[in-house]
Amino acid sequence: MKTDEQSPASRQVAIWLLIGVAMMIIQVLLGGITRLTGSGLSITEWKPIMGTLPPLNDHEWNEAFDKYKQIAQFKYLNSSFTLQDFKSIYFWEWFHRLWARLIGVAFIIPFIIFLIRKSFKEEMIRPMIILFLLGALQGLVGWVMVMSGLEYSNRLYVSHYRLAIHFILALGLISYTLWFALLLLIPERQLTNHRSLRRFTAWIISMLIVQLIYGAFMAGLKAGPYAPTWPDINGSYYAHGSSPAGGIIQFFDNPLQVQFIHRSLAYVIFLLIIVWYVRSRAIQSRSLKRKTNWIPPALTIVQIILGIATVLNSTDAKRLLWLGVTHQFVAMLLLLSLIFHFYIVRAGRTDLRTARF
């Protein structure tokens, strides 16, 4: 699908895919808001069709509220909630699910139109099937995640492990869709051959994925308020205190340990991105890489500043909400910027005449 001149049909398909990327980014942000407002368990049923509309009268609202009263989150955390309080958290979970349905519509209807117009080349069919399967899987995992907070009598929130899986699968779906769009948009002449830089980019992406998983753990465990200080962690560089289970599990379950790892990975990634930028700048090229290699380090700097601000304001619910969501947004942009560079840097033979190390 990579040619020097892209057909109008391919460009239209690529634009459709990029719109899908934007909608999925919004969906992830809505998920972040849902999590940070504690709204994720407000809807206790999964009704793919009938759940499109919220309760429309007092009877339906009271019925939904009564179902919420049966779960542990209400009994042990929100027992003082009035119906109006319930409506406020219900909105975010309902909107999150509604937007997911809209994404489905935004994909299916244009897909049918493109199919009728025969806009798809033969080699596009398999990626399209994978795309729809990944979307269906993401919806299923989302409901399984919600169920983790409904099926236990003492669980106040969804499992942070399932939250992380849901988050990473969403990022995988977004990245795959972006990659598909890049295949259709970027001609061969804009690509750069440099095996070692591509390999280095892959390592940074891998480390960033681990960091994103720990970001989901931070949100799932509400780890920020445990150490709302910087650059220290409650007066110490290392996080003191272990989980009751002890052992290696504390590095995944203990909020202080999770925050320590999340912070430490941020510093390591920052240094790697700086090295990546220096190496990238040393390659003489007129391709997109040369014009856009400033984006990952710029986003990394913004992300670290947002991360610090989020931790320092983690005890303020309103500030935490919007700082946390912005922090999540920039994290996604950073990942996608690295995916973009991983795409435009090919693993071909390095031209030693145009590389300086």
pLDDT tens for each residue of 32-59 = 998 888 887 788 777 766 667 888 899 9
Please indicate, yes or no, whether residues 175 and 226 belong to a single structural domain of this protein. Answer: no
pLDDT score at 327: 95
- What's the per-residue H, E or C state across the chain? CCCCCCCHHHHHHHHHHHHHHHHHHHHHHHHHHHHHCCCCCCCCCCCCCHHHCCCCCHHHHHHHHHHHCCCHHHHHCCCCCCHHHHHHHHHHHHHHHHHHHHHHHHHHHHHHHHHHHCCCCHHHHHHHHHHHHHHHHHHHHHHHHHHHCCCCCCCCCCCHHHHHHHHHHHHHHHHHHHHHHHHHHCCHHHCEECHHHHHHHHHHHHHHHHHHHHHHHHHHHCCHHHCCCCCCECCECCCCCCCCCCHHHHHHHCHHHHHHHHHHHHHHHHHHHHHHHHHHHCECCCCHHHHHCCHHHHHHHHHHHHHHHHHHCCCCHHHHHHHHHHHHHHHHHHHHHHHHHHHHEECCCCCHHHECC
What's the pLDDT at 235? 83
Q: Band of the pLDDT at 356, cuts 50, 70, 90?
A: very low
Predicted confidence at residue 48, as pLDDT, reads 67
The predicted structure's pLDDT at residue 155:
62
Query: Which CA distances in Å does 79 have to 41, 45, 89, 154, 254?
Result: 14, 20, 14, 14, 26
Q: Taking 50 as the threshold, does the pLDDT of residue 308 lie above it?
A: yes
- The whole-number average pLDDT for the span 199-215 is 96
Question: Do 217 and 197 share a domain, yes or no?
Answer: yes
Q: Are residues 145 and 203 in the same domain?
A: no
Q: Does 244 lie in the same domain as 145?
A: no
Query: In this structure, is the dihedral angle defined by the CA atoms of residues 240, 323, 138 and 86, taken in order, positive or negative?
Result: positive
Same domain, 171 and 237: no
Residue 67 in contact with residue 44, Cβ under 8 Å?
Answer: yes
% residues pLDDT > 70 (the chain) = 87
| Residue range 335-348: mean pLDDT, rounded | 89
DSSP β-ladder status, 345-346 and 192-193: parallel
- Of 189, 204, 234, the residue that ends a domain is 189
* Whether residue 178 is found in the same domain as residue 205: no
pLDDT tens column, 92-147: 989 998 998 899 899 889 888 888 888 888 777 788 888 888 888 887 777 776 66
Q: Alpha-carbon distance 238 to 222, whole Å?
A: 19
Same domain, 217 and 173: no
Q: Which amino acid is at 100?
A: A
* Highest mean pLDDT: which range of 40-44, 142-146, 246-250, 262-266: 262-266
* Same-domain status, 195 and 181: no
Summarised one tens digit per residue, pLDDT across range 171-194 is 999 999 999 999 888 888 888 888
Q: What is the C-alpha separation between 98 and 184, in angstroms, rounded?
A: 29
What CA–CA distances, in Å, run from 62 to 39, 87, 111, 156? 17, 10, 40, 21
170 and 69 within one domain: yes
pLDDT at 26: 95
Task: Let me know the angle formed at the C-alpha of 260 by 331 and 215, rounded to the nearest 5 degrees.
Answer: 25
Residues 346 and 236 in one domain: yes
Q: How confident is the model at residue 246 (pLDDT cuts 50, 70, 90)?
A: low
pLDDT in tens, 272-290: 999 999 998 888 766 777 7
Could you say which of 189, 210, 231 is where a domain stops? 189
Task: Return the percentage of the chain with pLDDT > 90, whole number.
Answer: 41
What residue has token string 């808001």? 33
Whole domain around residue 51: which residue ranges? Answer: 1-189
Name the average pLDDT for the chain. Answer: 85
Among the ranges 185-189, 253-257, 267-271, which has the highest mean pLDDT value? 267-271
Total number of domains in the chain: 2
Are 70 and 205 members of one domain? no
Domain end position, chosen among 161, 189, 217: 189
Give the span between the Cα atoms of 157 and 163, in whole angstroms: 10
Indicate if 128 and 260 belong to the same structural domain: no
Query: What pLDDT was estimated at residue 243?
Result: 54
